[in-house]
Amino acid sequence: MAQKKASVVEEKKEFITKEQFEAAQKETNEGIIAILEMVKGIAEKKPVLPATAEEILKEKEIKSVDAEYIPVNPAWEAKVREIIGEAVDRIEMAYPKNGGTLFTVIIKKEFSNASPSYMQMMKEDRRTREIGNGGIQEVEQWAKLIRQNINRPKN
């Protein structure tokens, strides 16, 4: 009969030094402390209480008087810049709460012929007109009027 040989598996044992063990333990403890500090910080934060009904109504009232500013139609902006040229600083559009579309062309200060008192009060030369259903034709007409105005001799 054949005898089975007992297989001997040698376990490779690795050891660490006392200093290595203490360093690993210190690292682990510091990590646990950091996590506990974060949890403590979260627990200490006071929850944000919802606004009172009075505050909500006041905020709605304030927002209700805002105009609704919207992006400017690119074709309209291109038409204004084509007609007025480099005097245009920027263009704005707004839908006021009472309806309509307000179209505003802001003229650069160096091209403006606005009075000093107007500039002191407004800080910029704003030319605003309500655009009805005339669309781009009305924008074009407004731009031509602005160009004529800023090309007038300054008094």
Query: Per residue of the chain (155 residues), what is the pLDDT tens digit?
Result: 555 555 556 666 777 888 888 888 888 888 888 888 877 777 666 666 667 778 777 877 777 666 566 788 899 999 999 999 999 999 999 888 788 888 999 999 999 999 899 999 999 999 999 988 888 999 999 999 999 999 887 65
Q: Where are the domains of the chain?
A: 16-46, 68-150
CATH number at 68-150: 3.30.160
Task: Tell me if the pTM is above 0.85.
Answer: no
Sheet with 68-70: list strands edge to edge: 68-70, 88-95, 102-107, 125-130
Strands 68-70 and 125-130: unpaired
Among candidates 132, 127, 154, which has minimal Cα distance to 143?
127
